[in-house]
Amino acid sequence: MKTTSLITTLTIAIGSASSAFAASGAREDNSGLFVWIFLGFCALIVVAQLMPAVLMMLGFAKAMGRNKAVEPQTVTHK
């Protein structure tokens, strides 16, 4: 009888404590359609700012990688 009540007490204690550690996987932030439209507009602005910068860096890299033949120049003194 004593072991049965001990097992029952432990089962109830463990069963009730396990639900306290459970976390809800869903996060509710109440973001509506207008919030997502605003965030998309912000992303569009960032991409529009990055495109010219990337193209400029590629232009610099192309200019630096170009093999230029150095021609000797004559210097005349007057």
Residue corresponding to tokens 């003194």: 77
- For residue 56, what are its two tokens? 């400029």
| Residue with more model confidence, 4 or 55 | 55
Give pLDDT tens digits for 19-76: 555 566 666 677 789 999 999 999 999 999 999 999 999 998 888 877 666 667 788 8
78 Cα distance to chain centroid:
65
The whole-angstrom separation of Cα 78 and Cα 75 is 10
pLDDT score, position 6: 80
- Per-domain residue ranges for the chain? 38-64
